[in-house]
């Protein structure tokens, strides 16, 4: 009965698919009964005047998906198929409006974002050359799931690099590569008991703040004093961990002096299982003097967990960061997370490996250090010329951003609105106050990043800023 209604469009492609589809729909619609016998392939083929092969293919597909079953030497029968329950019709909508995204590009915008790096001098040619080498030499590794901590040779290269550049003492075993510092710290801290206290710098990095809270930790923002995080307040908080940015505090830009560093290191040994997480996110860029040695290089008690990233020296879109775990912490980490798959692209990691070992990396960082120093100076010059006495810049020559305080009667909210109108991406200090969002009267503090903006666009961006503040 049903089979006499089958229709074949001879001009259409794939005759077997036409049969497959109609029989499938017939079964789902209940036009064919459970255990009903299908016509033999030969019979159906001759009836529809098509090849037996087409019917065979259709029956095989129906069989593979479980619409029919075969009984040896007897033929094919319709399976006993449960009826669908449909609660809502999925076709009647796409997605609710509140979930839709704006997709138009930010045409004409300029940016003082602190989250970017400068791509204009990136040596893509060299990068590609090293990538080709990586493909040629690591075919086997490319077909496999990477080592949980990242390929050993890449960790060797990073260990060597940070020994030279940051004075880090470590073996490749202690390095865990990951797609970002946030993700690495998340993995590390999710080993800790719910409610473990971690102290953060305030103002600080809100992405860490929310992530750590969501990981179940008791997160305690500690107000900074002149020299950085307040040790007495850390003691008071009963923190077991403290996360700091000693080379260039985020966002204030301050450098933690040696005395505070020693106090912090001493705090870590005054009780068992205390650890300092040093986020050395942009320490490669230091102007006028040499780089500031890392906190880890001063630690003689294995209490510093060091994290570094290639997001600033290369590109944030590459997603390559790493952390260096003290041995005890490494053991715990491996016991817990041996099954966690490495997030970073192996090809990118081997490319980085050759990029560093060829010396191209150091040359590029040196070049960018100079480039950023010039750009920073130029921007500060333009800002001072434009705002004069209405501007104060805490001029700490390091990193890829600085804090600028503007005298203005406008509120943070007004400034945000006007920045949107002027198409200028800015981030105000308010955003980084993890607690105590008190703001000064007649004053707006901005975190000004200078990595993204092109030199020739600086005057225009500063002019927009003037219009926003005035």
Stretch 215-234 residues interacting with a copy of itself (CB under 8 A): 227
Q: Which of residues 109-138 bind a copy of itself (CB under 8 A)?
A: 113, 115-119, 124, 128, 131, 135
* Binding window for a copy of itself (CB under 8 A); candidates: 36-44, 59-67, 274-282, 410-418: 59-67
379 binds a copy of itself (CB under 8 A): no
Give the whole-angstrom CA distance, residue 256 versus residue 244. 10
Least distance to a copy of itself, CB of residue 395, Å: 12
Question: Residues binding a copy of itself: what is the number (CB under 8 A)?
Answer: 110
Cβ-proximal residues to 20 (8 Å cutoff; 6+ apart), any chain: 57, 58, 61, 62
335 binds a copy of itself (CB under 8 A): no
Q: Is 171 left (phi over 0), alpha (psi -120 to 50) or beta?
A: beta
Cβ-proximal residues to 383 (8 Å cutoff; 6+ apart), any chain: 391, 393, 404, 448, 462, 465
Angle between helices 206-214 and 181-189 (to 10 degrees): 30
258 binds a copy of itself (CB under 8 A): yes
Distances 243 to 209, 285, 291 between C-alpha atoms, Å: 10, 21, 20
Classify residue 90 by its DSSP letter. Answer: G
Least distance to a copy of itself, CB of residue 100, Å: 6
- C-beta closer to a copy of itself: residue 215 or 237: 215
Least distance to a copy of itself, CB of residue 409, Å: 32
Establish how many alpha carbons lie within 13 A of residue 6's alpha carbon, considering only the half-sphere containing its beta carbon: 30
* Binding window for a copy of itself (CB under 8 A); candidates: 1-9, 233-241, 323-331, 416-424: 323-331
User: Which one among 158, 168, 224, 292 touches a copy of itself, defined by CB under 8 A?
Assistant: 292
Give the whole-angstrom CA distance, residue 313 versus residue 369. 9
Q: Tell me how far apart the 2 most distant CA atoms of the chain are, in Å.
A: 97
Least distance to a copy of itself, CB of residue 123, Å: 12
Least distance to a copy of itself, CB of residue 265, Å: 7
Give the whole-angstrom CA distance, residue 241 versus residue 318. 29
Least distance to a copy of itself, CB of residue 35, Å: 13
Q: How many other CB atoms sit within 10 Å of the CB of residue 211?
A: 17
Contact (Cβ atoms closer than 8 angstroms) between residue 38 and residue 75: yes
Least distance to a copy of itself, CB of residue 120, Å: 8
* Binding window for a copy of itself (CB under 8 A); candidates: 334-342, 368-376, 413-421, 427-435: 334-342
294 binds a copy of itself (CB under 8 A): no
Q: Which of residues 404-423 bind a copy of itself (CB under 8 A)?
A: none
Q: Which of residues 170-209 bind a copy of itself (CB under 8 A)?
A: 171-174, 179-180, 182-183, 190, 206-207
Binding mask 344-363 for a copy of itself (x = CB under 8 A): xxxxx---------------
Q: What share of the chain is helix, strand, coil (3-state, %, to 5)?
A: 45, 15, 40
């Amino acid at each position: 009965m049903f089979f006499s209604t089958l229709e074949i469009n001879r001009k259409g492609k794939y005759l077997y698919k036409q049969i497959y589809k109609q029989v499938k729909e017939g079964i789902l619609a209940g036009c064919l009964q459970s255990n009903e016998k299908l016509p033999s392939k030969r019979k159906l083929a001759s009836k529809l005047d098509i090849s037996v092969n087409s019917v065979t293919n259709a029956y095989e597909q129906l069989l593979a998906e479980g619409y029919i079953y075969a009984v040896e030497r007897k033929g094919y029968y319709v399976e006993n198929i449960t009826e669908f329950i449909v609660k809502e019709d999925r076709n009647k909508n796409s997605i609710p409006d509140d979930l839709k995204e704006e997709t138009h590009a930010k045409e004409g915008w300029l940016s003082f974002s602190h989250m970017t790096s400068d791509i204009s001098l990136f040596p893509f040619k060299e990068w590609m050359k090293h990538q080709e080498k990586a493909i040629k030499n690591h075919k086997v590794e490319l077909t496999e799931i990477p080592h949980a901590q990242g390929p050993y040779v890449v960790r060797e290269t990073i260990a060597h690099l940070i020994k030279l550049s940051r004075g880090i003492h470590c073996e490749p075993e202690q390095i865990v590569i990951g797609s970002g510092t946030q993700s690495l710290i998340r993995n590390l801290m999710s080993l800790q008991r719910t409610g473990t206290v971690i102290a953060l710098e305030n103002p600080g990095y809100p992405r860490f703040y929310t992530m750590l809270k969501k990981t179940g930790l008791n997160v305690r923002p500690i107000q900074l004093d002149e020299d950085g995080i307040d040790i007495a307040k850390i003691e008071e908080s009963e923190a077991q961990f403290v996360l700091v940015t000693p080379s260039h505090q985020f966002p204030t830009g301050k450098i933690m002096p040696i005395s505070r560093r020693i106090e912090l290191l001493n705090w870590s040994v005054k009780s068992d299982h205390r650890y300092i997480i040093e986020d050395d996110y942009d320490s490669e860029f230091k102007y006028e003097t040499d780089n500031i040695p890392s906190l880890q290089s001063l630690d003689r008690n294995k209490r510093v967990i060091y994290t570094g990233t290639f997001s600033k020296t290369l590109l944030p879109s590459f997603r390559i960061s790493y952390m260096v775990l003290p041995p005890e912490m490494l053991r715990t980490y491996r016991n817990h997370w041996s099954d966690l798959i490495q997030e970073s692209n192996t090809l990118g990691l081997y490319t980085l490996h050759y990029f560093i070992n060829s010396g191209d990396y150091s040359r590029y960082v040196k070049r960018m250090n100079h480039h950023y120093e010039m750009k920073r100076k130029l921007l500060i010059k333009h800002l001072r010329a434009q705002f004069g006495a209405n501007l104060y810049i805490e001029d700490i020559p390091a990193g890829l951003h600085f804090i600028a305080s503007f005298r203005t009667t406008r509120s943070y909210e007004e400034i945000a609105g006007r920045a949107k109108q002027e198409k200028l991406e800015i981030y105000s200090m308010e955003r980084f106050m993890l607690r105590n969002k008190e703001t000064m009267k007649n004053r707006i503090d901005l975190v000004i990043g200078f990595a993204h903006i092109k030199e020739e666009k600086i005057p225009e961006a500063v002019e927009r800023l003037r219009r926003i503040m005035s």
